[in-house]
């Protein structure tokens, strides 16, 4: 019996079954998991002609035109060399509730763009159907296969308008031999491994063995750092890899030397060198990706920094057919390294699965390295970016406390022309408050919201005051609002921060991280505001997290909360 968590009690058993074939006997492994739910923890309320169903430990299903019902999302580590081939669920209905109104259905909340994209047809929403369990996805993280399963312990019958609540669900997970060979990193010892920690955030069965299997840690001793020019296992291991062009390479070498001195063995490789040695891909981006894969396998690389904007080091565009369709630039292509992101072999990468006749590209969405990009364009900007990083890491800003200070900005998202006294449909401040709750008491939050009267202790989000606070300097700034490539809306009066504002901030050494839930402010294939914040030599931000295209707040908040959960 595993410890109770979130009102659930877990029972786990493992069974090994043998299935004979005329030639050989293949061992399949069956795992059974018993999940227990307390029906009293489901909150069922009738409001505005609909029934809302919630559970404090489960995630609401937000699928267009589908009922919003709580679901449990579980992640399992597959046995070595195996993959999940089937999931069966058996349940016991404990309670049936007769409703007088239908369960509320999800209506997609619009994006946070200030300009709506051209209206192209999106795929029709799926017909309503529900099962007790569903195998959502399976892929690899640093050679370890993870399987994602969704459980629906409360179900709605639209014909009788009743809810059935299960108090017990038994899963039967069948694993069989995996025909694929995942990317497996070199056995290295980097101390406290970040991927093992990340897996610990995902695993349903949190145990030391499962985490440690993610990367087999093995000390390589204290030999002098001497990596081969091309990734090989006979030279030194490399933890931090920087990819840039020839002009900016000397500046990024300064950062690599600093990383090596701090215990993160680092190397710089240029795009011209990669093209000369890995010129076998579909395009230059695939050449870069193939090099990174070899660097993970033979050097054990854990971190990759792309040194240059997309005009200097290419970015991959992934094809989305949602909300009219979009080509989305993403460096996840360099991070999630199994498969090739183009399984159907056409000119489009990153296409999702729609049906057996349109299977998409089998995109890997689990990281094998941690990737960031420094979107600089020349040696001067590269030097200033490196100087900014070093200053952030090595100095203690003067004045009031910096490291524990957070600025939270949130505007009313819908309606977009909201004024005080109007009905609020969706408020960014509500999302921001979720992050503030996670960050405190570690951080002290200064809160500025458009509808500040609804959030006691917060102050009006007025542009002149927002500018003053950013200039005062915060280690973490959260922005939830509308945006575009060159703007970030700041609430009252319909005003926005612009590229000019980003260039002229003067917070100096008190430059921290920007986390932005808004549309396209990180569209680094354009002249975006996030780049201006980053390139500001007198302040701005030392790093940022944001969207390269449309941001949908109902989805984005899950990423926000996960980010804050991981760092606090």
Domains of the chain: 2-214 (2.60.40), 240-371 (3.40.50.10390), 398-567 (3.40.50.1460)
Name beta bridge partners: 12: 33
Q: What is the pLDDT of residue 554?
A: 87
β-pair type (162-177, 303-307): unpaired
SS3 45: strand
Q: What is the pLDDT of residue 206?
A: 35
Q: Is 166 exposed, middle or buried (0-12, 13-18, 19+ CB in 10 A)?
A: buried
Q: What is the pLDDT of residue 395?
A: 86
8 Å CB contact between 246 and 270: yes
β-pair type (474-480, 511-517): parallel
Q: What is the pLDDT of residue 202?
A: 64
Q: What is the pLDDT of residue 110?
A: 64
Q: Residue-wise pLDDT tens for the chain (568 aa)? A: 222 233 333 333 323 332 233 333 456 899 999 999 999 999 999 988 999 999 999 989 888 788 999 999 999 999 999 999 999 999 989 999 999 999 999 876 666 655 434 334 444 445 556 899 999 999 999 999 999 999 999 999 999 999 999 999 999 999 999 999 999 999 887 745 677 667 666 665 433 333 333 333 233 445 789 999 999 999 999 999 999 999 999 999 999 999 999 989 999 999 999 999 999 999 999 999 999 999 999 999 999 999 999 999 999 999 999 888 999 999 999 999 999 999 999 999 999 988 778 889 999 999 999 999 999 999 999 999 999 999 999 988 877 789 999 999 999 999 999 999 999 999 999 999 999 999 998 999 999 999 999 999 999 999 999 999 999 999 999 999 999 999 999 999 999 999 999 999 999 999 999 999 999 999 999 999 999 999 999 999 999 999 999 999 988 998 999 899 888 8
Q: What is the pLDDT of residue 197?
A: 67
Buried b (16+ CB within 10 A) or exposed e, 33-42: bebbbeeebb
* Residue 421, CA distances (Å) to 352, 417, 426 in order: 42, 12, 14
As a whole number of angstroms, the distance between CA 439 and CA 556 comes to 17
* DSSP 8-state symbol, 217: -
């Amino acid at each position: 019996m595993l410890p109770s968590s979130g009102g659930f009690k877990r029972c786990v058993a493992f069974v090994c079954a043998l299935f004979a074939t005329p030639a050989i006997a293949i061992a399949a492994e069956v795992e059974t998991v018993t999940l227990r739910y307390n029906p009293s923890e489901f909150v069922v309320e009738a409001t505005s002609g609909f029934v809302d169903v919630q559970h404090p430990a489960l995630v609401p299903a937000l699928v267009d035109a589908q009922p919003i019902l709580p679901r449990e999302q579980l992640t399992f580590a597959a046995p070595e060399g195996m993959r999940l081939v089937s999931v069966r669920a058996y349940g016991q209905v404990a309670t049936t509730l007769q409703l007088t109104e239908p369960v509320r259905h999800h209506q997609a909340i619009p994006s946070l763009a200030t300009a709506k994209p051209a209206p192209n047809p999106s795929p029709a929403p799926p017909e309503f159907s529900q099962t007790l369990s569903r195998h959502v996805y399976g892929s690899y993280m640093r050679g370890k296969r993870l399987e994602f399963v969704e459980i629906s312990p409360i179900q709605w019958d639209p014909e009788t308008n009743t809810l059935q609540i299960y108090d017990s669900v038994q899963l039967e997970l069948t694993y069989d031999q995996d025909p694929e060979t995942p990317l497996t990193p070199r056995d290295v010892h980097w101390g406290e491994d970040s991927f093992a920690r990340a897996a610990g955030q995902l695993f349903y069965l949190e145990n030391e063995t499962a985490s440690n299997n993610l990367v087999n840690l093995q000390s390589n001793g204290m030999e002098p750092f001497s990596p081969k020019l091309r990734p090989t296992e006979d030279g030194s291991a490399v933890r931090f890899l920087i990819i840039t062009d020839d002009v900016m390479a000397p500046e990024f070498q300064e950062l690599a030397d600093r990383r090596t001195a701090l215990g993160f063995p680092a190397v710089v490789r240029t795009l011209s060198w990669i093209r000369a040695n890995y010129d076998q891909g579909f395009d230059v981006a695939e050449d870069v990706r193939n090099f990174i894969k070899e660097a993970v396998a033979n050097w054990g690389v854990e971190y990759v920094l792309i040194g240059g904007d997309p005009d200097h080091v290419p970015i991959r565009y992934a094809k989305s057919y949602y909300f009219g369709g979009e080509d989305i630039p993403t460096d996840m292509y360099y991070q999630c390294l199994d498969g090739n992101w183009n399984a159907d072999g056409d000119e489009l990468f990153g296409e999702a699965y729609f049906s057996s006749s349109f299977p998409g590209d089998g995109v890997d969405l689990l990281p094998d390295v941690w990737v960031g990009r420094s979107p600089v364009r020349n040696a001067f900007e590269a030097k200033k970016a490196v100087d900014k990083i070093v200053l952030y890491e090595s100095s203690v800003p003067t004045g009031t406390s910096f490291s524990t200070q957070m600025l939270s900005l949130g505007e009313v998202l819908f309606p977009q022309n909201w004024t005080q006294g109007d009905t609020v449909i969706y408020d960014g401040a509500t999302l921001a408050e979720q992050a503030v709750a996670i960050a405190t008491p570690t951080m002290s939050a200064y809160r500025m919201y458009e509808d500040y009267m609804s959030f006691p202790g917060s102050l009006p989000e007025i542009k002149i005051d927002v500018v003053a606070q950013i200039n005062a300097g915060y280690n973490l700034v959260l922005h939830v609002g509308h945006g575009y490539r060159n703007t970030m809306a700041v609430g009252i009066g319909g005003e926005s921060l612009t590229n000019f504002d980003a260039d002229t901030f003067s917070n100096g050494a008190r430059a921290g991280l920007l986390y932005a839930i808004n549309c396209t402010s990180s569209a680094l294939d354009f002249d975006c505001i996030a780049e201006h914040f980053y390139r500001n030599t007198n302040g701005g931000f030392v790093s940022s997290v944001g969207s390269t295209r449309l941001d949908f707040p109902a989805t984005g908040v899950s990423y926000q909360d996960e980010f804050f959960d991981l760092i606090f």
